[in-house]
Structure 1
Amino acid sequence: MLRCMKKYFSLEDLLREQLRDLFNAEENYNRHLASFITTATSIKLREQLKTVEGVTRQNIKLLAEMCNELGVPPQGVTCEAMDGLIREAKDTTSDWGDTATIDAALIANAQRIVHYEIAGFGTAKEFARVLSHKTISKTLNEMLQRAVTTDQELTRIATGGWFNSGINNEAADVAA
């Protein structure tokens, strides 16, 4: 949710605020990723979260560039949604005892966050497209595709594949 006193009059204004909101969301996520990486016990999950950390840093840089291109500072907006998602992630990963369930909770929370990114990047991309900001639209589309790939990788780690059972099955085995 965008919390500002200013009134907005155009889709251009909305695009600017969406980019600033996404910038804050990515900065917030980046601040907490190191602790999620440390908490992860699965090597595959830890490696994926390290990849996410690198992508998140790149997203911060790209969002700052897009804001600058549109003449607004990237800072100054608080992404309440990401604050909540991070708070939930921190709470739920501390509530579980066995390592596989902790990893399953990390994946669940990481996927909630990446779904927020998918929605945000996709919406902003469409705003930029209809406003003829071709470079910004293209950059947001690339960010969107990376977020979709991240979601798919997290699903693969959770559910497994041909040669491994996945974190969810490991957590279920511990519970049985």
Structure 2
Amino acid sequence: MAITSIDDLFIHELSDIYSAEKQLTRVLPKLARAAQLPELKKAFEAHLEETQGQVERIDQIVEALDIRLKRVKCVAMEGLVEEGKDVIDSIEAGPLRDAALIGGAQKVEHYEIAAYGTLSAIAKQLGYRDALPLLQATLKEEKATDEKLSLLAEQAGNQRAAEASAG
């Protein structure tokens, strides 16, 4: 798809994050199963539910703006998902894997924060009043998830991994 206008860019970016969110809905259950720390399992399960709601918001935006998403695959998310699979395959279940999973999940959140921030700015520029609050609600959720992951890393994940490595 040739991107020749800000409208095209908005549709492309929305299509890209839609692909990213769909990929996440498929991988989050695997991450939850791979996590040992109960709080991390719960965080992945809660984020799956949240992600499904975010997909629904994108569907609402598409309907409100009467646009069609493009068939694109978010290669950035594909890479982040692959990294997560590598963690599961290469690190034995336990505190070290949990710390790596938290780090990988934060990479995903940072990508999503950037994507929804960009989409919000473009929607504001284009006057998409129906889309803007939906995008900003998702942006707020992504930032909150990142904060929760940071706390989890600081309060349990990294310390347990360090203790397990030292012991």
- Counting aligned pairs with the same residue, the percent is 29
In the alignment, residue 52 of structure 2 is paired with which amino acid?
A: R
Separation in structure 2 between the aligned mates of residue 105 and residue 19 of structure 1, nearest angstrom: 29
Secondary structure, in 3 states, of the residue corresponding to 1:134? coil
* Counterpart residue number, 2:165: 175
- What is the CA distance between 1:109 and its match in structure 2? 0.7
| 2:6 counterpart of 1:11 | yes
Which has the larger helix fraction? 2
Superposition TM-score, scaled by structure 2 size: 0.95
- Choose the corresponding residue for 1:31, options 22, 26, 30: 26
Superposition TM-score, scaled by structure 1 size: 0.90
* TM-superposition CA deviations, 1:78-123 (whole Å, max 9, x none): 1010000000111022211250011111101110001110000000
Contact preservation (8 Å) 1:16, 1:67: no
- What is the CA distance between 1:68 and its match in structure 2? 2.9
Separation in structure 2 between the aligned mates of residue 170 and residue 105 of structure 1, nearest angstrom: 12
- Choose the corresponding residue for 1:79, options 66, 70, 74: 74
Secondary structure, in 3 states, of the residue corresponding to 2:90? coil
In the alignment, residue 115 of structure 2 is paired with which amino acid?
A: G
The unaligned stretches of length 5 or more in structure 1 are: 1-5, 161-165
Separation in structure 1 between the aligned mates of residue 5 and residue 123 of structure 2, nearest angstrom: 12
The count of aligned residue pairs is 166
